[in-house]
């Protein structure tokens, strides 16, 4: 659940510089972020087709702005999220939420484990979908986008304190709705505490 | 242990574990390969409509999209439909459509 490290940010900067030199090098950035931007657009629009339109328009803007893009030391996704948010804000159509099935690929997982996790993931996504809009947005940007509170605050045009509060309220609600985490997550936490 | 949310959650292992679950669930892919290719194609179309050419050649995913069975199937269906139209017009004595006559 880590934010991007300095070395990861440096690598991302290199990717952007490479894409500015050669357009073909933009493909890795698209592949890295298209799912996140779609998920975010979907959380804002509640409509798959509209979310695809917003995602496409976001990356079209990314293509257009690439030569002028200036690195500011924050993940490129923060800029993409902001563009998507602005596009949705400009387009006021917001129909109801339709739950999506994730497309999963993990060959090492047993069918039983995969079924258990898929079920849990679906429950988590459904619970997130039912959060109030601002809490949902904060959770998606934090856990789906790996962004920091400061970056989320910039995208949502809220204070950092407001983002923290939204996230805390969302997590409190989600804990009540979802109950205890899966054993794997509990074990992971236990291991971390033992090694801390 | 670093505080994951920048909140005062120290000692709340359950909430931290929920964060791990949220991260895992929300980072799973939402789109299929075909979805990504379709969105990509639309992005390129929008950019080209705005006068930013060159990405169609630069992004190899478009080649994959054009080779996708659904696209190939669609092209085949279009060819069959055109052939059927030609045959129908020939039976009715209209000859081939002008676009084909020109070719």
Closest chain A C-alpha to B64 CA, distance in angstroms: 13
| All CATH 1.10.1740.10 domain ranges in chain A, comma separated | 1-94
Residue B8, domain member (yes or no) = no
Residues of A in Cβ contact (< 8 Å) with B55: 23, 26, 63
Residues of B in Cβ contact (< 8 Å) with A150: none
| CA B23 to mean position of chain CA atoms | 26
Containing structural domain, residue B78: 68-103
User: Cα angle vertex A16, ends A3, B33, to 5°?
Assistant: 75
Residue B36, domain member (yes or no) = yes
Residue A22 belongs to what H/E stretch? none
Task: Provide the token pair at B83.
Answer: 């052939």
Which B residues, 14 through 33, put their C-beta within 8 Å of a C-beta on chain A? Answer: 14-32
Q: Kindly state the average pLDDT of the residues A155-172.
A: 93
SS3 A115: helix
Note if the pTM is more than 0.90. Answer: no
Number of domains observed in the structure of chain B? 2
User: How many distinct helices (H) and strands (E) make up chain B?
Assistant: 6, 0
Whether residue B99 sits in one domain with residue B82:
yes
Cβ neighbours of A134 (radius 10 Å): 16
Whether residue B103 sits in one domain with residue B84:
yes
Topology at the third CATH level for domain A1-94: Rna Polymerase Sigma Factor; Chain: A (1.10.1740)
How long, in residues, is chain A?
196
A103/B31 CB distance under 8 A: yes
A167/B54 CB distance under 8 A: no
Whether residue B75 sits in one domain with residue B55:
no
Query: Does the ipTM surpass 0.95?
Result: no
Could you report the per-residue pLDDT of A73-119, keeping only the tens digit for each?
Answer: 888 999 999 999 989 888 654 443 333 444 444 456 666 776 777 78
**Range picked from A10-24, A149-163, B45-59, B63-77 for highest mean pLDDT:** A149-163
Which A residues, 25 through 44, put their C-beta within 8 Å of a C-beta on chain B? Answer: 26-27, 30-31, 34-35, 38-39, 42
CA distance A51 to A53: 5
Closest residue in chain A to residue B9, using alpha carbons only: A168
Residue B5, domain member (yes or no) = no
B4/A168 CB distance under 8 A: no
CA distance B71 to A93: 30
Does the domain formed by A124-179 have CATH 1.10.10.10? yes
Long-range contacts of A10-17 (CB under 8 A, 24+ apart): A12/A75, A12/A76, A13/A71, A15/A76, A16/A66, A16/A69, A16/A71, A16/A76, A17/A71
pLDDT score of A153 = 95
Could you report the per-residue pLDDT of A13-49, keeping only the tens digit for each?
Answer: 999 999 888 877 888 888 889 999 999 998 888 888 8
What percent of chain A lies above the pLDDT cut of 90?
39
Whether residue B77 sits in one domain with residue B99:
yes
pLDDT score of A170 = 93
Whether residue B77 sits in one domain with residue B54:
no
pLDDT surpassing 50 at residue B30: yes
pLDDT score of A107 = 53
């Amino acid at each position: 659940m880590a934010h991007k490290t300095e070395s990861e940010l440096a690598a991302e900067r290199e990717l952007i510089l490479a894409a500015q030199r050669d357009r073909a090098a933009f493909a890795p950035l698209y592949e890295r972020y298209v799912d996140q931007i779609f998920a975010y657009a979907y959380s804002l629009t509640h409509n798959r087709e509209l979310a695809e339109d917003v995602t496409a328009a976001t990356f079209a803007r990314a293509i257009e702005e690439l030569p002028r893009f200036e690195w500011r030391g924050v993940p490129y996704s923060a800029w993409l999220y902001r563009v998507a948010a602005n596009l949705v804000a400009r387009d006021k159509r917001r129909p109801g939420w339709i739950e999506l099935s994730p497309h999963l690929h993990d060959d090492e997982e047993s069918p039983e484990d995969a079924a258990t996790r898929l079920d849990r993931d679906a429950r988590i996504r459904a619970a997130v979908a039912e959060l109030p809009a601002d809490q949902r947005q904060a959770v998606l940007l934090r856990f789906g986008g790996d962004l920091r509170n400061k970056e989320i605050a910039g995208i949502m045009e809220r204070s950092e304190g407001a983002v923290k509060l939204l996230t805390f309220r969302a997590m409190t609600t989600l804990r009540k709705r979802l109950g205890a985490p899966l054993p794997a997550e509990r074990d992971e936490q236990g291991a971390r505490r033992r090694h801390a | 242990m670093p505080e994951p949310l920048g909140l005062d959650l120290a000692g709340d292992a359950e909430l931290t574990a929920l964060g791990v679950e949220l991260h895992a669930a929300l980072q799973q892919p939402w789109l299929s390969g075909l979805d990504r290719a379709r969105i990509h194609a639309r992005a390129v179309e929008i950019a080209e409509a705005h006068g930013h050419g060159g990405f169609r050649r630069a992004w190899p995913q478009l080649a994959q999209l054009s080779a996708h069975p659904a696209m190939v199937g669609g092209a085949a269906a279009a060819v069959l439909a055109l052939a059927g139209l030609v045959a129908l017009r020939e039976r009715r004595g209209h000859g081939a459509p002008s676009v084909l006559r020109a070719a």
